[in-house]
Amino acid sequence: SSHCKGGVTLHKVSHKLQSCAEVTAAVFLIGIIFCVLVQVVCRDILKVTSTWTQEIAVYCFMWLTMVGAPLMVRRGEHFVIPLFIDKVKYKRVFLCMIDLMVLAVGAVFLLYGVRFVQSGLGKTSVAAHLPFIFVYIAYPIGGALTVFFAFEMLLEHLGVIPPAEVARDTEGGLD
């Protein structure tokens, strides 16, 4: 039962990370909407050019992607094709292989994201004058979240920990 307690602790941490990522994603989605709205008002009503809004909207989109993708991993809604999964003979093995591949992709974003952050130190964006560290830090954060959530899914698929109480795509999961 000790692995169950560890699984419960892992799921609690994962749930907190998921909540933070959901709030972060919502903030950046609102940021995109705000920037696009300001850009339209400036261009069509005020007849002035606003370059910073486009730049900030792109950065918000980057953040939304880097925190949104791990959320899909946590919910089991990433690139697994249910029709294909149902035809696989060794479903558990296949799902574990997918978890390992997703974990590897997350590790690449984490490791190279750190290098990306280091390359942006002391540099600022052209239009908004935003330090690039605030933009580039999204990559290692997204990578770390992906690694964490994929590891949790792997442990579930291996039967090491019980499934989390989370809204997941039941087509791609184990029944």
Interatomic CA distance for residues 21 and 142, integer angstroms: 9
pTM of the model: 0.86
Query: DSSP H helical segments within the chain, as ranges?
Result: 2-40, 51-75, 82-87, 91-120, 132-136, 138-158
Residue indicated by tokens 């039962």? 1
Q: 3-state DSSP helix/strand/coil percent for the chain, to nearest 5?
A: 75, 0, 25
| DSSP code, position 52 | H
Contact between 170 and 119 under an 8 Å Cβ cutoff? The reply is no
Interatomic CA distance for residues 20 and 1, integer angstroms: 29
Residue indicated by tokens 């696009």? 36
Q: Which residues fall within 8 angstroms of residue 26, CB to CB, at 6 or more apart?
A: none
What pLDDT tens digit does each residue of the chain (175 aa) get?
445 567 789 999 999 999 999 999 999 999 999 999 999 999 999 999 998 999 999 999 999 999 999 999 998 887 666 666 667 778 888 889 999 999 999 999 999 999 999 999 999 999 999 999 999 999 999 999 999 999 999 999 999 999 887 756 544 444 3
List strand residue ranges (DSSP E) for 41-97, in order: none
